[in-house]
């Protein structure tokens, strides 16, 4: 009798200990209702994302698999995905941020009203997903870091003969992680491919950057952009103008 009670106690203690360890390891078995809850910044490869990739791959005369590979980092931890209506919360976070220190180099030094985020998103999508044979007028991608939406990178206009402008903005919580550099270099790879496929005929692209924004200046230089260091005056303040010449890099290869 005592022996059975002893083993019974051992089994009970083991079960309690097992549940304790599993709970602290955040095991899905303990809280199945919470593990599938979507996070605001989480990027799930939705049907819409897949359709957008398919749509753009056809426009650009690239195989879907090749198009996706162009958008991945070497370790597959970061990638670019075509913007979609699912990214509204991200657009609110990056374009409508009210932290003056974080937004000091953005346009007029402050974020836009939050009620404009949806209009900004709709504008980016309407310019990217042109119907029939018309090519995208601009390209907008969301920067994904470990399956989380972390920022936005854009280039446009790309459908005319002017020089397209590259711009990017990273969520405050994801700043200084190298995501800006990854986004710009990855976008360049895609733009080079589109030139090779004779989809667009731009010879240069450019970007502007506040002289005091040392991090962003470094990103552009490391990506192969060059500047004469002269300030240009914009309505929203001084900027350096950087250029990337495709013909120069093609000659070096």
**Which domains occur in the chain, in start order?**
1-37 (no CATH), 40-252 (3.40.630.30)
Return the SS3 of 150: strand
Low-confidence ranges of the chain (pLDDT < 70): 1-46, 160, 249-253
Nearest C-alpha neighbor of 56 from the set 216, 152, 193: 193
Sequence-ordered alpha helix ranges (H) in 25-153: 32-35, 47-60, 64-70, 88-95, 117-128
How many Cβ atoms sit within 10 Å of the Cβ of residue 12?
10
Return the SS3 of 153: strand
Percentage of residues in the chain having pLDDT higher than 90: 63
Percentage of residues in the chain having pLDDT higher than 70: 79
CA distance 31 to 44: 21
CA distance 185 to 218: 13
Task: Read off the pTM.
Answer: 0.80
């Amino acid at each position: 009798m005592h022996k059975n009670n002893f083993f019974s106690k051992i089994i009970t203690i083991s079960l309690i200990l097992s549940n304790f360890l599993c709970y602290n390891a955040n095991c899905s078995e303990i809280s199945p209702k919470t593990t599938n809850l979507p996070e605001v910044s989480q990027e799930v490869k939705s049907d819409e994302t897949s359709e957008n990739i398919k749509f753009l791959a056809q426009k650009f005369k690239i195989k879907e698999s090749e198009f996706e590979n162009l958008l991945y980092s070497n370790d597959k931890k970061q990638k670019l995905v075509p913007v979609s209506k699912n990214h509204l919360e991200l657009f609110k976070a990056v374009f409508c941020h009210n932290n003056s220190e974080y937004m000091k180099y953005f346009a007029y030094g402050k974020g836009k009203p939050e009620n404009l985020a949806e209009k900004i998103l709709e504008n980016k999508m309407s310019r990217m997903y042109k119907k029939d044979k018309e090519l995208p007028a601009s390209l907008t991608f969301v920067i994904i870091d470990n399956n989380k939406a972390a920022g936005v990178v854009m280039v446009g206009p790309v459908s005319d003969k002017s020089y397209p402008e590259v711009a990017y903005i990273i969520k405050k919580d994801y700043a200084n992680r190298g995501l800006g550099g990854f986004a710009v270099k990855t976008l360049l790879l895609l733009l080079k491919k589109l030139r090779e496929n004779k989809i667009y005929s731009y010879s240069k692209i450019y970007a502007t950057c506040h002289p005091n924004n040392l991090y962003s200046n470094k990103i552009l230089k490391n990506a192969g952009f060059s500047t004469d260091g002269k300030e240009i005056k914009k309505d929203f303040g001084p900027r350096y103008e950087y250029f990337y010449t495709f013909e120069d890099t093609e000659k070096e290869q």
